[in-house]
Amino acid sequence: MLRQGDVLLRPIEALPEKHSPVKEREDGKIIVALGEATGHKHEVVGEGVEFVKSGARQFLVATMEGTTLVHDEHASIEIPVGTHEIVRQREYAPKAPVRVRD
């Protein structure tokens, strides 16, 4: 598994049977996550990669070495050849402890 900030790439054996390509942006970039507040993005750079979805789930299929996941605030990560599910992670923020009165 690979993690970059709140994006986790989990290797999987194969795509779900029903899946469809995600339309790339007009500039041809593949953005797998975009920060709503900051505008920072997790972007895939390189050749030989397909971005697909199945329902609410998203996947990257890297067919060539040299595909990289980049972000302004995190180290770049080279994505191994294979199929990966994109999992968005959230920061765990537990509620304040409950005080019990005697």
On whether residue 98 sits in a domain, the answer given is no
On whether residue 9 sits in a domain, the answer given is yes
Which range of residues forms the domain containing residue 83? 2-88
**Rounded to whole angstroms, how far apart are CA atoms 34 and 45?**
15
- Mention every residue, 6+ apart, whose C-beta is less than 8 A from residue 11: 1, 80, 82, 83, 84
Q: Domain count for the chain, please give it.
A: 1
On whether residue 100 sits in a domain, the answer given is no
**Rounded to whole angstroms, how far apart are CA atoms 54 and 41?**
22
On whether residue 48 sits in a domain, the answer given is yes
On whether residue 32 sits in a domain, the answer given is yes
pLDDT per position as a tens digit, 13-71: 999 999 998 876 657 678 888 776 667 788 898 888 899 999 999 999 999 998 899 98
Q: If DSSP codes are grouped into helix, strand and coil, which group holds residue 98? A: coil
pLDDT per position as a tens digit, 64-96: 998 899 988 888 999 999 999 999 876 656 666
Q: Are 6 and 33 in contact (CB under 8 A)?
A: yes
On whether residue 73 sits in a domain, the answer given is yes
Give, as one character, the DSSP assignment of residue 57.
Answer: E
On whether residue 97 sits in a domain, the answer given is no
